[in-house]
Chains A and B, each alone.
Chain A
Amino acid sequence: PTPPYLKWAESLHSLLDDQDGIHLFRTFLKQEDCADMLDFWFACSGFRKVEASDGKEEKKLKLAKAIYRKYILDNNGIVSRQIKPATKSFIKDCVMKLHIDPAMFDQAQTEIQTMMEENTYPLFLKSDIYLEYT
């Protein structure tokens, strides 16, 4: 069978589908000071998965606010700097108007994912951390 670390090189999704892959990628991103990008990506996926059943609404609102405050609000943060201004205003509007939608972070997540696919992921595959692991 193909060893996991070779699968990681196939696509970003293959890497993010493996616990050890995530761990190593996060170690690399931490070195580059951009681990928040990965955390944000997973936070968006997790947010989408919170069920919309009654009683969860308050939790969703709290979570949306937490994600907004931690990653989007600070314009100097690594995540905030990679997200388009229009996308940020959209999220801000949703939070301010308490309009909590499961897809409200989708566009921002896509932008961060594109950034990782074009930038940090290829760098990771060439990094000492990955090469030493293999």
Chain B
Amino acid sequence: IDSEDDLLQECISSAMPKKK
């Protein structure tokens, strides 16, 4: 379950804009 949460977090972060 932990790894599933990590995967989800990684996915969410990958969609966020990078610092300008």
Chain A positions within 8 Å of B, measured between CB atoms, are 16-19, 22, 39, 42-47, 49-50, 59, 62-63, 65-67, 69-70
Interchain Cβ contacts under 8 Å between A and B, 13 examples:
A16-B17, A19-B18, A19-B19, A42-B11, A42-B16, A43-B15, A45-B15, A46-B14, A62-B4, A62-B7, A65-B4, A66-B5, A69-B4
Return A63 CB to nearest CB of chain B, in Å.
6
A-B pairs, 6 with minimum CB distance: A46-B11, A45-B15, A46-B15, A42-B15, A42-B12, A66-B4
Q: Contact at B8–A66, with CB atoms within 8 Å?
A: yes
* B interface secondary structure, majority: helix
Residues of A within 8 A of B19 (CB): 19
Name the contact of A22 in the complex, choosing from B7, B16, B20 (C-beta under 8 A): B16
Taking a contact as CB atoms under 8 Å apart, the answer to whether A43 and B8 are in contact is: yes
Q: Are A47 and B17 in contact (CB under 8 A)?
A: no
